[in-house]
């Protein structure tokens, strides 16, 4: 089964794999709104990071005797891993706060200002500067649409999603450092666990209490075996938004260049907006214009960059040569 899945992922059309990833994330984001009716968004964030860390640690087992030799050997690397974990945990938390008051497609598009900024500040061509100008225009359009279509209560959501964008940018910079090592998934697992530990200092007790003893506003979670249903829902959200996403990221990063990968991810806000319509959201035409402008900005910025960020090794590197969809040969790193 494992070989069959691996073969399918590496032989299927790249855009088909990307589409599965985007739909998985988008549907998970919409399902998380159901959880919001039973438990606070920040607690949902804690559960998502917690379940991801537990599942990844159980699967990858980076601390096992077999893999212990691959653990980072210096303090700098451990600081990078810890910072990455904190960025992921914080990014998830503020994003969930944002989509309480913003259409999730709009929120996803505004959040994309983070990766766009990374490309702009690390590039030096006219494409990056034009992309920055268009991104500013797109964010302005989306911000105005959110404020006028939802009301003043959307202001906290806009602030939260911009913070999430900053954390996403940090995640990209540090994440690429981690991913370029030979144990990318193992190092990512360690990062997620460290982020969960840090997040648990502030949220573990109330998050667990929020499931075991649901708040007064909760409905079905207060019923018989309600906490079991809630944990099940949180597990589905975790699987769709984190586990599937991380694994397919690894596949896509090995099959396409960094530029093509970035362009495909830029389509995510549009997919998320369309999925939100299936769940009852009613975006305005300005929402679609804003999403289009930001996606266009990201495409312009990233298509001029073959490798927008420097690569750094955290461990020894293993290389292999693969062909992309156009038959070009590229040397890539592979995980143990």
Q: Is 262 contained in some domain?
A: yes
**Is the predicted pLDDT of residue 27 greater than 50, yes or no?**
yes
Rg, the chain, Cα only: 20
As a whole number of angstroms, the distance between CA 43 and CA 29 comes to 15
**Is the predicted pLDDT of residue 304 greater than 60, yes or no?**
no
**What is the predicted pLDDT for the residue at 309?**
38
User: What does the pLDDT look like over 74-115, one tens digit per residue?
Assistant: 899 899 999 999 999 999 888 888 877 777 667 777 787 887
As a whole number of angstroms, the distance between CA 51 and CA 102 comes to 25
Distances (CA, A) of 169 to 11, 34, 73, 117: 30, 28, 26, 7
**Is the predicted pLDDT of residue 334 greater than 60, yes or no?**
no
**What is the predicted pLDDT for the residue at 158?**
85
Q: Is 91 contained in some domain?
A: yes
Helix axes 226-238, 184-212, angle to 10 degrees: 160
DSSP label at residue 26: H
**What is the predicted pLDDT for the residue at 195?**
95
As a whole number of angstroms, the distance between CA 114 and CA 290 comes to 16
Q: Is 148 contained in some domain?
A: yes
User: What does the pLDDT look like over 238-258, one tens digit per residue?
Assistant: 999 999 987 887 777 767 665
pLDDT confidence tier of residue 311, bands split at 50, 70 and 90: very low
Per the structure block, which two tokens stand in for 266? 């830029």
User: What does the pLDDT look like over 163-219, one tens digit per residue?
Assistant: 999 998 888 888 777 776 667 788 889 999 999 999 999 999 999 999 999 999 999
% residues pLDDT > 70 (the chain): 78
**What is the predicted pLDDT for the residue at 314?**
42
Q: Is 336 contained in some domain?
A: no
**What is the predicted pLDDT for the residue at 40?**
92
User: What does the pLDDT look like over 127-174, one tens digit per residue?
Assistant: 767 777 787 787 777 666 555 666 677 788 888 989 999 998 888 888
**What is the predicted pLDDT for the residue at 123?**
63
Q: Is 5 contained in some domain?
A: no
Burial class (CB in 10 A: 0-12, 13-18, 19+), 198: middle
**What is the predicted pLDDT for the residue at 208?**
96
Q: Is 223 contained in some domain?
A: yes
Q: Is 183 contained in some domain?
A: yes
Strand 329-333 relative to strand 319-323, pairing: antiparallel
**What is the predicted pLDDT for the residue at 5?**
77
Q: Containing domain of residue 51, as a range?
A: 13-62+71-315+322-329
Q: How many domains does the chain have?
A: 1
As a whole number of angstroms, the distance between CA 48 and CA 157 comes to 20
Residue 325, helix vs strand vs coil: coil
Average pLDDT, integer, range 309-314: 39
Q: Is 335 contained in some domain?
A: no
**What is the predicted pLDDT for the residue at 199?**
93
For the chain, give the mean pLDDT: 79
**What is the predicted pLDDT for the residue at 69?**
84
């Amino acid at each position: 089964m494992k070989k069959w899945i691996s073969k399918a992922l590496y032989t299927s059309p790249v855009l088909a794999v990307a589409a599965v990833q985007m739909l998985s994330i988008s549907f998970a984001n919409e399902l998380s709104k159901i959880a919001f009716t039973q438990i606070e968004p920040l607690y949902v964030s804690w559960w998502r990071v917690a379940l991801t860390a537990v599942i990844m640690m159980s699967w990858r087992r980076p601390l096992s005797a077999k893999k212990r030799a691959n653990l980072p050997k210096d303090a700098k690397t451990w600081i990078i891993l810890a910072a990455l974990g904190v960025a992921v945990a914080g990014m998830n938390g503020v994003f969930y706060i944002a989509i309480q008051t913003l259409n999730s497609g709009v929120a996803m598009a505004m959040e994309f200002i983070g990766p766009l900024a990374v490309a702009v500040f690390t590039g030096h061509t006219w494409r990056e500067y034009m992309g920055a100008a268009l991104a500013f225009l797109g964010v302005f359009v989306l911000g105005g649409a959110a404020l006028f279509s939802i009301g003043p209560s959307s202001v906290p959501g806009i602030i939260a999603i911009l913070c999430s964008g900053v954390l996403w940018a940090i995640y990209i910079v540090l994440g690429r450092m981690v991913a370029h090592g030979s144990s990318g998934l193992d190092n990512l697992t360690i990062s997620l666990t460290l982020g969960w530990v840090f997040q648990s200092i502030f949220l573990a007790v109330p998050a667990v209490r929020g499931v075991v003893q649901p708040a007064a506003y909760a409905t079905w979670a207060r019923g018989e075996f309600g906490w079991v249903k809630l944990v099940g829902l949180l597990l589905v959200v975790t699987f769709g938004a984190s586990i599937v996403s991380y694994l397919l990221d690894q596949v896509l990063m090995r099959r396409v260049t960094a530029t093509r990968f970035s362009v495909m991810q830029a389509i995510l806000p549009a997919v998320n907006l369309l999925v939100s319509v299936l769940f009852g959201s009613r975006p305005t035409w300005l929402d679609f214009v804003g999403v289009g402008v930001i996606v266009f900005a990201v495409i312009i910025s990233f298509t001029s960059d073959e490798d927008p960020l420097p690569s750094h090794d955290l461990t020894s590197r293993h290389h292999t040569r693969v062909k992309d969809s156009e038959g070009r040969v590229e040397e890539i790193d592979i995980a143990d």
